């Protein structure tokens, strides 16, 4: 089986959402990991907005990218500028991909506005993952 890792700075929202979509759209035909430069814990709002569309990420964990230093990754996806800039060496000759998604964790406004921003980022990540699976994995 091929390994995919998704990396963002805090490993709390964007990489968690991306992992959820990757697992969903690849039907568990790949081993999907997520990690961060720091491990900030899985954001409860990310869990909530994914559950709204039937994807449960409540069992995800927040991990440091260094925890996976012995794994050879076939695909390495960074989902923010900070992860791209500060990401440590990833073992293997994996194909690298990059997209800078806004961080919904720093959303401000009413609770509804914050959740709406999470949903907006969810939609962006979903579209990215659909294209990635279609163009790279099929």
* Number of folded domains that form the chain: 1
Question: With 70 as the cut, is the pLDDT of residue 85 above it?
Answer: no
Q: What pLDDT sits at residue 128?
A: 98
Instruction: Quickly state the pLDDT bin for 10 (edges 50, 70, 90).
Output: confident
Q: Which of the following is catalytic: 6, 8, 9, 50?
A: 8
Q: What pLDDT sits at residue 86?
A: 59
Q: What pLDDT sits at residue 34?
A: 93
Q: Which residues of 59-84 are buried (b: 16+ CB within 10 A; e: fewer)?
A: ebebbebeebeeeebbbbbbbbebbb
Q: What pLDDT sits at residue 42?
A: 95
Domain hosting 79: range is 3-137
Does the reported pTM lie above 0.75? yes
* CA 65 – CA 40 distance, rounded (Å): 12
Decide if 8 is catalytic.
Answer: yes
Q: Which of the following is catalytic: 6, 47, 77, 87?
A: 87
Give percent of the chain with pLDDT exceeding 70: 92
In tens, the pLDDT along 52-77 reads 999 999 999 999 988 988 898 999 99
Specify the CATH number for the domain of residue 17: 3.40.50.2300
Q: Which of the following is catalytic: 32, 80, 83, 125?
A: 80
């Amino acid at each position: 089986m091929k390994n995919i890792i998704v990396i963002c700075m805090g490993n709390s929202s964007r990489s968690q959402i991306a992992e959820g979509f990757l697992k969903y759209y690849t039907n568990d035909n790949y081993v999907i990991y997520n990690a961060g430069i720091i491990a900030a814990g899985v954001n409860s709002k990310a869990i909530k907005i994914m559950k709204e569309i039937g994807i449960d990420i409540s069992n995800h964990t927040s991990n440091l990218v260094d925890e996976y230093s012995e794994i050879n990754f076939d695909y390495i996806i960074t989902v923010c500028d900070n992860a791209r800039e500060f990401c440590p060496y990833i073992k293997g000759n994996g194909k690298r991909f990059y997209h800078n998604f806004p961080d919904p964790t720093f959303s401000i406004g009413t609770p509804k506005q914050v959740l709406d921003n999470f949903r907006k980022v969810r939609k962006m990540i979903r579209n990215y993952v659909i294209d990635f699976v279609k163009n790279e994995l099929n």
